[in-house]
Structure 1
């Protein structure tokens, strides 16, 4: 399968000072404001869809930073639903999370490079983002059919839960 995977282009990323505006808007939207508990990793699974050619994201947090990274799973899409999975740090991950791959074993501060799923390609390694100071956003053009894994990593935090405001959407 690895021979069939084309190289991935880097994502387009940006920041914005409009943190208060984004938080105010997302507070009113269902499932756009969540708590990522200390030690946990939240993965948003975003399948590619025929009606669009790129995925876009924006997020911010209250008070503290959070790790963020993007991966692409080349496994054929079986569901068009965007889903969210929460896992504890890699020591406690179940079999499904091990298939998802890379986060837990790497250093969030330096970026994660560990892959346990041969169908998984790294687009943006997990790095801590100053999402409490500015909106973090970006987009990535679909490389083919598959599912994006947007990882919000709070596994490095021993004491602090993070309130995360996020949205993921498609663009043509």
Structure 2
């Protein structure tokens, strides 16, 4: 009975107190609907934030984006995304287009060989695995370069290129180089062009000034005379190639002449 009376008296005292009776606590009216301040726990429903909270989030995101954009690149000024990228230093420059060569054949192979035997340095041996390149610079006195050639017994690879580098000498020179290609067979059958295969077509070059007029192909120069010409595209040097790099065993006897025409 005494315990019940004590409990009743305590409840009476608590009910007479107000929020203002405690120091440090301000009186504030509660929201009419406190449940509106709670986020939904149903994951299938989108979470809707109050307008003022959404505005705060938008302002915060804007500040973060602005800080990222203005952040300087390491060791330099802030990067501007609108700045155009400079071209790569190693980018290959565009070369002028080259017109195709004019070519022909002749059955008078015996007559050509007999005539060239009487001329100095017109009959040479292109050894197995070697490439003979004739450098022919352009000259103001002529308009085109011409060539004729034949071989004994077997064919030979032939191609024409043009180096756009400025001419420093008017002398016609001959260079012999060894092939770095290893073939499994002696002389493979001629076929379609395969990039990088000297015997079946031209191979890539590291000279950025070099243009291709005729890719290297095996020519039946042991059956008919192979001839051709090309009009000067401008100042530069022709590279006329006789290619025996595909042969592992056979040297080739070459009869040739290269000359200018007006």
TM-score normalised according to structure 2 size? 0.59
Please identify the structure whose Cα radius of gyration is greater.
2
Task: Provide the rounded CA distance (Å) in 1 between the counterparts of 2:111 and 2:140.
Answer: 31
Aligned residues: 158
Task: Provide the rounded CA distance (Å) in 2 between the counterparts of 1:108 and 1:29.
Answer: 30
Q: Residues 199 and 245 of structure 2 are in contact (CA less than 8 Å); yes or no, is this contact kept in structure 1?
A: no
Task: Provide the rounded CA distance (Å) in 2 between the counterparts of 1:171 and 1:28.
Answer: 22
Q: What's 2:93 paired with?
A: 2
Deviations 1:17-69 (A, max 9, x none): 01100000000101100000000000000000000010000000000000000
Matches within 5 A, 1:68-79: 68-79=158-169
Once the two structures are overlaid, the 10-residue window that deviates more, 111-120 or 122-131, is: 111-120
Q: Residues 108 and 128 of structure 1 are in contact (CA less than 8 Å); yes or no, is this contact kept in structure 2?
A: no
Q: Residues 163 and 237 of structure 2 are in contact (CA less than 8 Å); yes or no, is this contact kept in structure 1?
A: yes
Runs of 4 or more, structure 1, over 3 Å off, are: none
Q: Residues 109 and 150 of structure 2 are in contact (CA less than 8 Å); yes or no, is this contact kept in structure 1?
A: yes
User: Structure 2 regions of 5+ residues with no counterpart?
Assistant: 1-91, 182-194
Q: What's 1:165 paired with?
A: 255
Task: Provide the rounded CA distance (Å) in 1 between the counterparts of 2:249 and 2:141.
Answer: 42
Q: What's 2:101 paired with?
A: 11
Task: Provide the rounded CA distance (Å) in 1 between the counterparts of 2:247 and 2:224.
Answer: 20
Q: Residues 54 and 170 of structure 1 are in contact (CA less than 8 Å); yes or no, is this contact kept in structure 2?
A: yes
Deviations 1:117-171 (A, max 9, x none): 0000000000000000000000000000000000000000011000000000000
Q: Residues 10 and 123 of structure 1 are in contact (CA less than 8 Å); yes or no, is this contact kept in structure 2?
A: yes
Structure with greater proportional helix content: 2
Task: Provide the rounded CA distance (Å) in 2 between the counterparts of 1:40 and 1:169.
Answer: 23
Q: What's 2:131 paired with?
A: 41
Q: Residues 38 and 155 of structure 1 are in contact (CA less than 8 Å); yes or no, is this contact kept in structure 2?
A: yes
Task: Provide the rounded CA distance (Å) in 1 between the counterparts of 2:218 and 2:136.
Answer: 21
Structure with greater proportional strand content: 1
Task: Provide the rounded CA distance (Å) in 1 between the counterparts of 2:93 and 2:151.
Answer: 36
Q: Does 1:127 align with 2:220?
A: no
Task: Provide the rounded CA distance (Å) in 1 between the counterparts of 2:234 and 2:93.
Answer: 14
Task: Provide the rounded CA distance (Å) in 2 between the counterparts of 1:16 and 1:150.
Answer: 20
Q: What's 2:231 paired with?
A: 141
TM-score normalised according to structure 1 size? 0.88
